[in-house]
Amino acid sequence: MNVRALLAFALVIVAIGVGSLLVRSVPESLNFSLPSGPSEQPAPRTLRPEPSQPRPATPAPEPEPETDPRLSVATSSIPVGFTREQLSLKFRKVRVSSVTRKPSASSAETLVLSVSLSRGETVRINGWRVETKTNSFTISRIPLTHDPFGGNPPQDLVLTSGDSVRIYGSAPRLGAGFRLNACVGYLETLDFGFRPALPKTCPGLYESTAELSNFSSQCQDYIRSLSSCEYPSGNPPVPADDAACRDFLNAVNYGGCYNAHKNDGDFLSKEVRIWLGSSNKDLHFLNETHDRVLLFDEQGFLVSDYTY
């Protein structure tokens, strides 16, 4: 081997050694390798939407504070001797509208309450108190109406607009009071001695004469002759064999009327009657000449006044 060949071989060996050293000294993070195929682009990053935050709930509007109805009462309308703070929240929704102060054989001392409320509004007046210079009394719970078949338990006296309450000093005959109904005229016919008398307007016994067509002629004539709220005779002038007629006549009374009409929409009256007397003694609560009537609610606040 000549000298040139040896030198060339030595240079190759040196080059290989230097290259090896350089490769070892390059950081691994630097990649000088050539791609073997077409370059691969990194997949585009998909941006995930941020989870939507729930919107804060819209707060419900605060209820408007209730206005004290007493604030709308004109100062000039506040009864003498009272302040605005002493008025009831029901002030003049129930009014003492009239009085009858001189009783007679057929009437009694009378105090009338009239009711004027908003649509759908009610007012309970048991526990309210009436005061005059002569006397005082508290309105009690009473039966809803007179039920001829029930125990007539006392209930709250709840009124609606247009109702009236007539309070009498006379003695009670069938409990301390009740709301009138379409059939009370039959009670008046029995002569319980109500003072004043109960209204005698009862429902008709039939709506059409066709309802009587199966009865005998004598029965039909007799039924047509009966006045409103009149009880049939114990021995009516009808054939003995007309059993259907007699059954019909046996139901012509307060109980029969009550059963037939208690579910009618207009069965109950707008009028309530209360009797304050005891046994055969009247309660005297109105001065015959001049007096001032004061109506207080159950908390002692003034509802109405009436001067005569």
Judged by DSSP in three states, 194 sits in coil
Q: Let me know whether 148 and 280 are in one domain.
A: yes
pLDDT of residue 26: 46
Cβ atoms within 10 Å, residue 97: 15
Which structural domain, as residue segments, surrounds residue 81? 71-204+266-307
pLDDT of residue 105: 86
pLDDT of residue 29: 46
pLDDT of residue 192: 94
- Residue 150 is assigned to a structural domain of this protein: yes
pLDDT of residue 34: 43
Under-70 pLDDT residues of the chain: 1-66
Task: Return the residue matching tokens 């309308």.
Answer: 77
Is residue 146 within 8 Å of 161, Cβ to Cβ? no
Q: Let me know whether 99 and 194 are in one domain.
A: yes
Q: Let me know whether 158 and 231 are in one domain.
A: no
Judged by DSSP in three states, 66 sits in coil
Q: Let me know whether 200 and 215 are in one domain.
A: no
Phi, psi of 220 (to 5 degrees): -60, -45
